[in-house]
Amino acid sequence: MLEIKGLKVKLEEEDKEILKGVDLTVEPGSVHAIMGPNGSGKSTLSYVLSGREGYVVTEGSATLDGEDLLDLEPEERAALGLFLAFQYPVEIPGVGNMTFLRTAVNAQRKARGKEEMNATDFLKLIRAKAKELKIDAEMLKRPVNVGFSGGEKKRNEILQMAMLEPKMCILDETDSGLDVDAMKLVSDGVNALRDAGRGFLVITHYQRLLDHIIPDVVHIMADGRIVKSGGPELAQEVERDGYAGIMAEVPA
Amino acid sequence: MNAPIQSKRAQLKQAKLAATEERLQGLSLPQGGVWATEARQSALARLREMGLPARRDEYWKFTRPDTLIQQEAPVAEVLAHDEAPVFDGIDRLKIVFVDGVFSAAESDPLDLAGVEIERLADAAKADIHWAREIFGVLEARGQSPVERPLAAFNTGFADDGVVVRVTDRAQKPVSLIYRHESETSDAMLHHVVRLEKGADLTLLENGPAAARFNKVLEVDVADGAAFHHVRAQGRDHQRRAATHIFARLGAESVFKSFTLTVNGMLTRNECVVEFTGDDAVAHVAGACLGDGDFLHDDTVFITHDAVACESRQVFKKVLRNGATGVFQGKILVKPGAQKTDGYQKSQSLLLDDDSQFLAKPELEIYADDVACSHGSTSGAIDEEGLFYLRSRGIEEGPATDLMTLAFLAEAVEEIEDEHLAEEITARLEGWLARRRG
Ligand SMILES: Nc1ncnc2c1ncn2[C@@H]1O[C@H](COP(=O)(O)OP(=O)(O)OP(=O)(O)O)[C@@H](O)[C@H]1O
Ligand SMILES: [Mg+2]
């Protein structure tokens, strides 16, 4: 499903290489986790995949179901089924959460040649999904993420994911800032979406999330590369020993 | 030589006065009754003393007055009607002016419970009329400390408009509809509105008025009365318009005025508000969208001369392809106007590097117990927000429109009536969608 090969990325503004050759394949139906020290390039990878400006791909490729992602506009990538739950969801004063989501849902339906969802059906759907995530109706009316608490913002990301039903979901530290109960809610939300056709890339610092969303593969990213991959036990190793041991194994 | 040595300033003033006399050549005051003639004569005298605006004038630095004052109105193409007029869905009393002339045939009968409506041309013929307390009076009060010669010009020479007295809550809005038919029309309208104690009126204005349009609206809001004004300036791009609102507010009264402007090579909207009674509220807001050869100027002056009044100015401009936006807003708090709450915000969203926003926000405060703030900003579209929307599948064009509407929303929210606000938002959406093609 998601196939990243030898991806090298530098910043547009300065000559600084952030990703130094990333190889990663996420198969349909699987959950891959990425862990790694601060500044190792995890968010950069997720931004480059979703099409944010400011990065230059110097080498390598990234495809989703065989389609070259890197040439596409962000909205085209979304239409293909890529979704990024942001590490820092953006506040957009003046744009209502509901308007935003309805516009997004219908834009994607249109891009896929489906009919637009009418207001009533949309309302029903979003109410149901919001309820599952314990997002109250009042929050839906507020401008996108404005005045939301850290945890509310993260739940709002998952709500968007649930509404858009993407094929490939990238979650960038969705667990950071969540209380224990919210972590459970969010994990349930993610697990509810798990199916044979959908892939997940879960970026996290904590093994706790991976107790709820059990990954098939755990990758360790350091200094712009995936330096080690393994099963869920790798996350436990990180939790217990930190990154020092793993880094020591990596050839310089 | 015994010619007096003049300062530069005196020379400029003399040149201005000479140009004004030249402009006035051949013009004569409209026929009217005693009260109207007196008011017009005194306006003419004011004008002769001030002179028509010139580029060097302090409040005309950003906006060239030339085309507003030259002899002939510049030609303005008549816009084909390609969309339903704004406010179409609102139940209202319609009063139509074609190229600045009242059209009885196209207007509703001027009957509305709690409201007396007359044509200015008729009211001015009477020898005695209540409007004498307001006509040219509020305009004259608004001439100091900043001169507004185009308004005096209007008081002198406009002979059409409406004269409205509101004695109760009006059952529906009074709607002034302007229609532009001649490419060279040069129109002047002068409206007078008096709200008696506790009365309530919504006044709507829309449509392209003329190739050149000079309009004055004087509003006297008595104690406890409320005046709501929502105006949509036409899409006729080649027009030149100078408008003035002069409002005098009694105790516990409410005055709310919102203006939508899309297109227009030159639009200057002045609003002069004076608080004379305590605990009154005035909100003046505007949203404008300009593309290309566009200049939009909001010049606002609010005088707090009473205790515990609240004034709020919210102006938002979206500019692209070299459009220019101007904002000159002042809050004057007179001695003794304690507990004044004055707020002013002017912002522009510049969609490219060619467009510009020129702002002159001013505060002048002579009381100590007041809360006043002003902020003026210019910025580009928020790229982070734009990316966020696009990452959810919204195309760049619609995403930019969403952000643009969001930017304007704060001004539109100043409209109290939900339906009117929706009408305005629909106009904004339509304009944005058209630009995207
Ligand atoms: N626009 C930018 N300008 C300058 N430096 C950048 C930019 N984007 C990323 N970087 C740098 O690239 C490196 C990787 O950043 P990135 O945000 O991808 O790390 P991360 O692995 O997500 O870290 P964290 O765990 O703290 O979220 C960091 O050193 C960061 O400072
Ligand atoms: Mg990160």
Residue B286: C-alpha distances to residues A164, A203, B210, B412 (Å) = 36, 45, 21, 8
- Buried b or exposed e, range A129-161, using 16+ CB within 10 angstroms: bbeebebeeebbeebbbeebeebbbbbbbbbbb
pTM of the prediction? Answer: 0.89
Q: Is the minimum CB–CB distance between A164 and chain B shorter than 8 Å?
A: yes
Give the separation between CA B63 and CA B90, rounded to whole angstroms: 35
| pLDDT (0 to 100) of residue B4 | 63
Answer yes or no: is pLDDT of A210 > 80: yes
Interacting residues of A73 by C-beta distance below 8 A, sequence separation 6+:
A51, B390, B395, B396
Q: Are A133 and A193 in contact (CB under 8 A)?
A: no
Find the CB nearest A90 among B385, B395, B398: B385
Report which of B273, B146, B259 is spatially closest to residue B218, judged by C-alpha positions. B273
Instruction: Test A53 with B383 for CB contact under 8 angstroms.
Output: yes
Tell me the chain A residues in contact with residue B410 when contact means C-beta distances shorter than 8 Å: 94
* Ligand 1, atom 27: closest residue by C-alpha: A38
Q: Is B205 helix (H, G, I), strand (E, B) or coil?
A: strand
Q: Is A66 on the interface with B (CB under 8 A)?
A: no
Q: Are A75 and B387 inside 8 Å of each other by CB?
A: no
**CA-based Rg of chain B, rounded to a whole angstrom?**
21
Contacts of B347 in chain A (CB under 8 A): none
Residue A249 Cα, gap to closest chain B Cα (Å):
37
Q: How many CA atoms lie within 13 A of B164 on its CB side?
A: 33
**Which residue's structure tokens are 């979406």?**
A193
Q: How far apart are CA B415 and CA B426, in angstroms?
A: 14
Confidence of residue A252 (pLDDT cuts 50, 70, 90): low
pLDDT range class, residue A71, cuts 50, 70, 90: very high
User: What does the pLDDT read at residue B234?
Assistant: 81
Residue A157 distance to chain B (closest CA, Å):
10
**According to the model, what pLDDT value does residue B384 have?**
95
Beta pairing partners, A42: none
- Name the residue of A18, A47, A176, A206 whose CB sits within 8 Å of the most ligand 1 atoms, as the mutation to test its pocket: A18
Mean pLDDT of A58-85: 96
The answer to whether A100 contacts B392, with C-beta atoms less than 8 Å apart, is yes
pLDDT on residue B3:
58
* A43 touches A18 (CB < 8 A): no
Q: Would you say B215 and B243 are in contact if contact means Cβ atoms under 8 Å apart?
A: yes
Per-chain mean pLDDT for chain A: 93
> What DSSP letter does each residue of B128-150 carry, written as one string?
S-GGGGTTTHHHHHTTSSS--HH
Instruction: Return the structure tokens found at B1.
Output: 């030589």
**Tell me, what's the ipTM?**
0.96
Least CB–CB distance from B388: residue in A79, A92, A111: A92
Mean pLDDT for A138-146 is: 91
Strands A55-64 and A67-68: antiparallel
Q: How many CB pairs under 8 A join A and B?
A: 83
Query: CA triplet B351, B354, B358: central angle to 5 degrees?
Result: 85
Helix (H) or strand (E) holding B283: strand B281-291
CB-based contact B395:A107 (threshold 8 Å): yes
Give me the long-range contacts of B34-37 (CB less than 8 A, separation at least 24).
Answer: B34/B127, B34/B128, B35/B126, B35/B127, B35/B128, B35/B129, B35/B131, B35/B132, B35/B135, B36/B123, B36/B124, B36/B125, B36/B129, B36/B132, B36/B135
Residue A249 pLDDT level (bands cut at 50, 70, 90): confident
A107–chain B nearest CA distance, Å? 6
Tokens 């009694």 belong to residue? B250
Walk along chain B (437 residues) and give the pLDDT tens digit of each residue: 555 667 888 999 999 999 999 999 999 999 999 999 999 999 999 999 999 999 999 999 999 999 999 999 999 999 887 677 899 999 999 999 999 999 999 999 999 999 999 999 999 999 899 999 999 999 999 999 999 999 999 999 999 999 999 999 999 999 999 999 999 999 999 999 999 999 999 999 999 999 999 999 999 999 999 999 999 998 889 999 999 999 999 999 999 999 999 989 999 999 999 999 999 999 999 999 999 999 999 999 999 999 999 999 999 999 999 999 999 999 999 999 999 999 999 999 999 999 999 999 999 999 999 999 999 999 999 999 999 999 999 999 999 999 999 999 999 999 999 999 999 999 999 999 888 86
Q: Looking at chain A, which residue has its C-alpha nearest residue B402? A: A95
Which residues does residue A221 pair with via DSSP β-bridges, in sequence order?
Answer: A226
Provide residues with CB under 6 Å of ligand 1.
Answer: A 11, 18, 36, 38-44, 54, 87
Residues of B in contact with A53 (CB under 8 A): 383, 387
DSSP H or E segment with residue A198: none
* Distance (Å, whole) CA B156 – CA B411: 33
Mutate to test the interface with A, among B388, B425, B436 (most CBs of A within 10 A): B388
Strand order of the sheet with strand A2-11? Answer: A17-26, A2-11, A55-64, A67-68
